[in-house]
Amino acid sequence: MDSIQEKLVKRSKSTNRDLMGKGISLSALVLIVLIVLSIFVFVTSRGLATFFHDGISVKDFLFGTTWNPSVTNPKTDHPYIGALPMILGSFLVTFLSALLATPFAIGTALFMTEIAKKRGAKIMQPVIELLVGIPSVVYGFIGLTIVVPVIRHIFGGSGFGILAGTIVLFVMILPTITSMTVDTLKSVPGHYRESALAIGATRWQMIYKVILRAATPGILTAIVFGMARAFGEALAVQMVIGNAALMPHNLISASSTLTSVLTMGIGNTVMGSLQNDVLWTLALILLIMSLVFNLIVRAIGRKGEMK
Amino acid sequence: MGVFINVQGGGTGTGLSQVAQGAVDLGNSDVFAEEKEGIDANKLVDHQVAVVGITPILNRKNGVTNLTTAQLSDIFTGKITNWSQVGGNNLDIVLINRAAGSGTRATFEKWGLDGAKSREAQEQDSSGMVRSIVSTTPGAISYVAFGYVDDSVVAPKFNQVAPTDKNVMTGQYPIWSYEHVYTKGKPNSKTQKFLDYLSSSHVQNTLVKKLGYISIHDMQIHRDVDGKITNK
C-alpha cells in the first residue's frame, strides 16, 4: 500500500528527467537571448557615441560623401565622416549580385526538381552543398587571382571594384538561393502538377504558370537570404573591391563596402577615439540592415502563404 | 619551465591600446605613442628595437626615377594626376594607399609628403598585395618597407637620395620610422630580459636584418618624436 502511495505522491524518475530537460533548454534559450541582447546593446552604445559623444550629426554621417576620419574638415571643424560611399557600395554589390544570381538559381533549381530529378539529386545537390561549405576567404582568393586580373585585362584600370565584388558574391550566394529555391519547389504539392498536366498544359506551361507562381513567396525569401549574406560578407569582398571610400562612379573603379571599411580599419584605431566610434556606427548600420532583412523575410512569409 | 611568450597580431592601434590597458606586457608600434590619437603616452615607456625604411614604389611603365617631396605630396593629394607632369610617360596616376591609421601610412605622410594627408584612394592592408598591384597596374604608385622592394617595381630616388639602408643610417634619407616596443611603466625583470635579448647584437645582426629591418645599433643619428635629429 505504502509503495503505491509513494509512487503516486513522489515525483517519478521520468518527471525529474522531464523537468531537467526543460531546465536545460530554458537556460540555453536565456543564454542565447542574453548574448544577442548584449551584442545589440554593445554595438548600439558604441555606435551612437559618434553622435552623442563626438557630436556628429546623423545627416552628415549618412549622407556625407567624403570619408577620411583622420582628417578634419576646416569648414565644419569635424572630421570627414560621410558614410554614403560605403552604404552605396554595400547596396550596389548586394543588389547586383542578387540580380545576377537569381535567374541562375531558379534555372538550376527547376532543373533539379522538375526536369531531371534523379540526376539533379545525384550530381547537383552535392555540388551545391559543397559550394555552401567553402570558406569565404577561398572565394576571395580566387577572386583576387582570377577575377581581378581578367577585369583588368578586359576593361583596364586596376581591376578592383564593384564588378569584381559582384562576381565573387554572385558565386557565393548562388548556392544559398539555389538550395532554398529547391526546397520551395519541392514543397509545391504534387496535385498542382498533375492538375496542370491533366488539363493539357505542356511542361513549360506547368512550370511557368503553376509551379513558379505557387513558389513565388519562397523564392523571394531565398533571394532575401542571399542578399543578407552578400550584405554581411566582409573578407571576400574586401579582397577584391579595392577599399577606396569613394563614391562609386562606375563598376570598375575601386570602391568599398561597410564591411570592408570595418575590417580594414578596426585594427588601426584605438578604442574610444572618434576614428574607432565611427567604425562602430558602421557596424550598427550593418546590424540594423540584417534586422531589416529578417523583417522582410517574415513579411513575405506572412503575406504569401500558399493557399 | 621556461618563460612563455604569446604573440598576437593586429594593426598599429592594437599594440598601443592593449599595452596602455595593461592587457599585454609589450605593445609593438611603428609610430610614437604620442602620435596615435586616443593613447595616453605618459604612462608608456618606449624601447626602440629596430628601424624600418619606407620607399615609394612605382610601376615600371611610369618612367620616373626621382621624385621630390613637393612632387610626391602633389601626387598623393591629387594636384598632379598624370606622370607626364613629373617628367614621366603619359599615364594616369593610380594611387594605392595603406589602411588609414596604419603606421606605414602615417610615416610616409609625415616624412614623404611633408605632413600632407593623402586623398582618399584605394587601400590595401598588406605589403605583398600592394607590391603585386603596383607591378601589374600601369601608372600605379604606392609605398612599402625596404624589405618588400624587388625587381617587379621601381623604387625611385627621393630628392635625389636613393632609398638604401646606408642612407637611412646616415640620416640622408628621411622616410623611416623606429620599430617601438612599449611597456606600461618600467618593465618587470622577465620583460626586461626579453627586451635585452631583442637589442642584443645577435638578434640585431641576424633576425632584424633578415626581415629587412635596419639594426638600431647601425643608426648614426637619433630622431625624436618631433623630428629633431641629433648625432649619436
Which residues of chain A lie closer than 8 angstroms to B101, CB-CB?
70, 265, 268-269, 275
CB contact under 8 A, A246 and B117: no
Which residues of chain A lie closer than 8 angstroms to B102, CB-CB?
268
pLDDT for the residue numbered B39:
82
Cell of B203: 638578434
Closest Cα in chain A, distance from residue B94 (Å): 8
Nearest to A304 by CA among A197, A223, A191, A203: A223
Return the number of CB contacts < 8 Å for A and B: 88
CB contact under 8 A, B13 and A276: yes
Query: In whole angstroms, what is the distance from residue A245 CA to residue A230 CA?
Result: 19
Class of domain B12-51+171-231: alpha beta
Closest Cα in chain B, distance from residue A101 (Å): 27
> pLDDT tier at B42 (50, 70, 90 boundaries)?
confident
Which residues of chain B lie closer than 8 angstroms to A256, CB-CB?
123
pLDDT (average), residues B45-62? 94
DSSP A116: -
Interchain contact B28–A (C-beta under 8 A): no
pLDDT for the residue numbered B128:
86
Q: Got the DSSP string for A44-74?
A: HHHHHHHHHTS---HHHHHH---EEEEEE-T
List chain A domain ranges: 1-53, 84-306
Query: In whole angstroms, what is the distance from residue B169 CA to residue B164 CA?
Result: 9
Interchain contact B102–A (C-beta under 8 A): yes
Residue B60 has pLDDT above 90, yes or no: yes
Span B104-129, pLDDT tens digits = 999 999 999 998 888 888 888 788 88
Would you call A255 helix, strand, or coil by DSSP? strand
Complex ipTM above 0.90?
no
CB contact under 8 A, A265 and B117: no
Class of domain A84-306: mainly alpha
Would you call A189 helix, strand, or coil by DSSP? coil
Classify residue B164 as exposed, middle or buried by CB count within 10 Å of its CB (0-12, 13-18, 19+).
middle
Residues 6+ apart with CB under 8 A from B18: B8, B10, B24, B27
Question: Helix A258-265 crosses helix A84-110 at what angle (to 10 degrees)?
Answer: 120
Question: Helix A84-110 crosses helix A162-186 at what angle (to 10 degrees)?
Answer: 40
Nearest to B145 by CA among B211, B83, B200, B195: B211
pLDDT for the residue numbered B1:
60
Q: Got the DSSP string for chain B?
A: -----------HHHHHHHHHHTSSS-EEESS-GGGSTT--GGGEEEEEEEEEEEEEEE-GGG---EE-HHHHHHHHHTS--BGGGGTS-S-B-EEEEEPTT-HHHHHIIIIISTTPPPPS-EEES-HHHHHHHHHHSTTEEEEEEGGG--TTSB--EETTB---HHHHHTT-S--EEEEEEEEESS--HHHHHHHHHHTSHHHHHTHHHHTT-EEGGG-SEEE-TT--EEE-
CATH of B53-163, one of 3.30.413.10, 3.40.50.20, 3.30.930.10, 3.40.190.10: 3.40.190.10
Interchain contact B66–A (C-beta under 8 A): no
Q: For every one of its 307 residues, what pLDDT tens digit does chain A have, with 9 covering 90 and above? A: 677 887 778 888 888 899 999 999 999 999 999 999 999 999 999 999 889 888 888 888 999 888 888 778 888 788 888 999 999 999 999 999 999 999 999 999 999 998 888 887 788 888 888 888 899 999 999 998 899 989 988 987 778 899 999 999 999 999 999 999 999 999 999 999 999 999 999 999 999 999 999 999 999 999 999 999 999 998 899 889 988 888 888 888 889 999 999 988 887 888 788 888 999 999 999 999 999 999 998 888 887 665 5
Interchain contact B16–A (C-beta under 8 A): yes
Query: In whole angstroms, what is the distance from residue A150 CA to residue A70 CA?
Result: 34
Span B180-213, pLDDT tens digits = 999 998 888 889 999 999 999 999 999 999 988 9
Cell of B47: 624601447
Interchain contact B125–A (C-beta under 8 A): yes
> pLDDT tier at B20 (50, 70, 90 boundaries)?
confident
CB contact under 8 A, B120 and A66: yes
Nearest to A279 by CA among A260, A299, A295, A292: A260
Which residues of chain B lie closer than 8 angstroms to A252, CB-CB?
none
pLDDT for the residue numbered B156:
95
List chain B domain ranges: 12-51+171-231, 53-163
> Could you say which of B11, B101, B125 has the minimum Cβ distance to residue A70?
B101
